[in-house]
C-alpha cells in the first residue's frame, strides 16, 4: 500500500484528462524536468495506476476498486471513529442498568469497577432475560448477569476499523469496548470508547463520499 504524494496525484489527473501522453509533456505541464518526474512515473506504473507504452506514452490504468477500498478500510483506525462508552458501575442494580439503557438508547452497557477499569458487559438481551425472572430488579446487582472479563471481546485504539467490523461479525455482537491495557497489568483494561455497527456504517458512508482520484 502506498500513500500518493500531491505531485503523483497531479500526474494521475493529467494522464486521466489527456492520456495517452508522453513523460515529456507531463513534465511540461508541471513545469518540471523529465528526470525529476521519472521516479514518480516509475512508482505509479509499478503500482498499477499507469500503463506505459513505447513511442505512445502513459495511459491511466487505474486500480481495481476492491483493492483501493480495501486499502482505505485498513487505514481507518478505531481511535479516529470510537464513540463515548455508556457505562454503569459494577455496584448498580439491574433496574439502574435498564433505565440507563433506554435513556441512552443503546444496545450494550459497559460495566466498570471502582477503579474505572472494564469489569463486564451487559446487552439488551441480558437485561430482557433478567426482567422476565421473578426477582426484584431493584435488588439484583448488575454484576450477576454481566459477561465478565476475560470473556469480553475487545479492540485496541490502534487497530483498524476493518478489524473491529470483523470481530463484530465473527462474534455476533453489537458493540466492542475500545480499551487500553493498564501498564504492568495485562488483566486490567481502561475503557476508552466503543465501536458499534452504527460506527462502521458511518465510516462506510464517509468513505463513499470521498472524491474519486
What's 58's DSSP letter?
A: E
Cell of 209: 463520499
The residue assigned the cell 482505505 is 72
Query: Which positions ≥6 away from 108 have C-beta within 8 Å?
Result: 86, 121, 122, 123, 124, 173, 174, 175, 194, 196
CA distance 41 to 117: 52
Helices (H), ranges, the chain: 6-18, 23-30, 34-46, 65-75, 78-81, 94-104, 124-131, 161-170, 197-208
The CATH code for residues 78-205 is 3.10.580.10
Is-contact 169 85, C-beta < 8 A? no
Q: Where in the chain is the domain with CATH 3.10.580.10?
A: 78-205
Total Cβ atoms within 10 A of residue 180? 14
What's 18's DSSP letter?
A: H
Q: Where in the chain is the domain with CATH 1.10.10.10?
A: 6-63
| Fold classification of 6-63 (topology level) | Arc Repressor Mutant, subunit A (1.10.10)
Total Cβ atoms within 10 A of residue 110? 23
> How high is the pLDDT of residue 213?
38
**3-class SS shares of the chain: helix, strand, coil, % to 5:** 45, 25, 30
Phi, psi angles (nearest 5°) of residue 43: -65, -45
Is-contact 111 84, C-beta < 8 A? no
> How high is the pLDDT of residue 65?
47
> How high is the pLDDT of residue 107?
92
Query: Which positions ≥6 away from 124 have C-beta within 8 Å?
Result: 101, 107, 108
Cell of 178: 475500545
Report how far apart the first and last C-alpha atoms of the chain are (Å, whole number).
15
Tell me the C-alpha to C-alpha distance, in Å, between residue 113 and each of 23, 73, 178, 182.
64, 34, 16, 14
Of 73, 74, 15, 64, nearest to 44 by C-alpha is 15
Of 89, 67, 107, nearest to 199 by C-alpha is 107
> pLDDT under 70 in the chain at which residues?
1-2, 63-72, 134, 208-213
Per the document, the length of the chain is: 213
Amino acid at each position: 500500500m502506498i500513500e500518493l504524494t500531491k505531485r503523483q496525484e497531479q500526474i494521475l489527473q493529467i494522464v486521466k484528462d489527456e492520456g495517452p501522453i508522453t513523460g515529456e509533456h507531463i513534465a511540461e505541464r508541471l513545469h518540471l524536468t523529465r528526470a525529476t518526474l521519472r521516479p514518480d512515473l516509475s512508482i505509479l506504473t509499478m503500482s498499477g495506476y499507469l500503463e506505459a507504452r513505447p513511442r505512445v506514452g502513459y495511459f491511466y490504468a487505474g486500480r481495481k476498486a476492491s483493492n483501493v477500498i480495501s486499502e482505505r478500510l485498513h487505514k481507518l483506525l478505531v481511535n479516529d471513529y470510537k464513540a463515548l462508552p455508556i457505562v454503569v458501575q459494577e455496584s448498580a442494580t439491574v433496574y439502574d442498568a435498564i433505565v440507563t439503557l433506554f435513556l441512552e438508547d443503546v444496545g450494550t452497557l459497559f460495566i466498570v469497577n471502582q477503579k474505572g477499569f472494564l469489569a463486564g458487559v451487559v446487552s439488551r438481551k441480558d437485561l430482557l432475560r433478567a426482567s422476565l425472572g421473578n426477582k426484584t430488579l431493584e435488588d439484583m446487582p448488575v454484576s450477576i448477569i454481566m459477561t465478565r472479563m476475560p470473556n469480553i471481546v475487545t479492540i485496541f485504539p490502534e487497530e483498524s476499523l476493518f478489524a473491529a467490523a470483523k470481530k463484530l461479525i465473527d462474534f455476533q455482537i453489537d458493540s466492542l469496548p475500545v480499551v487500553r491495557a493498564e501498564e504492568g497489568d495485562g488483566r486490567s483494561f481502561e475503557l476508552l470508547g466503543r465501536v458499534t455497527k452504527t460506527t462502521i456504517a458511518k465510516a462506510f458512508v464517509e468513505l463513499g463520499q470521498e472524491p474519486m482520484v
